[in-house]
Amino acid sequence: MTRVGYHAWRTFLKKRQAELVEKICKECGYTTEVSERVAALIRKEDLKEDEETQALEDVACLVFLDDQFEQFEKEHDEDKIIKILQKTWGKMTDQGHELALKIPMSGRPQELVQKALAG
């Protein structure tokens, strides 16, 4: 998949997931306002300006680092992993960074995080 194709796929997914969650919220009796807000969070609207959207992004990044990173790093080359870690770090708040640094890691995962943050 090309970079353009990947970004198009991610954009499509965000929109589709937001539409689905908005519909589910409405079907469960939530107001239109609340349903639209949840959809906006899923679409990551106003990421750096909206505290709730940013908190959700921090959580997603922390889950990746805590729960998925160890397996992910085994499946990809070092340069790609470091770039992904740097992008992930750039999406997070200072508080997210503090929490990420408390995630227990050792061996290669820890080395990769250190390289990404150093470089």
Say yes or no: 98 and 60 in one domain: yes
The model's pTM is: 0.84
Residue 15's domain comprises 1-43
Letter string b/e over residues 29-68, b meaning 16 or more CB atoms within 10 A of that residue's CB = eeeeeebebbbbbbbbeeeeeeeebbeebbeebbeebeee
Cα–Cα distance, 89 to 49 (Å, whole number): 17
Domains: count for the chain: 2
pLDDT digits (tens, 9 = 90+) for 11-59: 999 999 999 999 999 999 999 999 999 999 999 999 989 999 999 999 9
Element (H, E) at 106: none
Say yes or no: 58 and 113 in one domain: yes
Q: Evaluate if residue 62 carries a pLDDT over 80.
A: yes
Say yes or no: 8 and 54 in one domain: no
Work out the mean pLDDT of the chain and round it to a whole number.
Answer: 95
Say yes or no: 38 and 58 in one domain: no
Query: Quick one: pLDDT at residue 37?
Result: 97
Q: Give the pLDDT mean for 62-68.
A: 95
Say yes or no: 32 and 61 in one domain: no
**Cβ(119)–Cβ(79) below 8 Å:** no
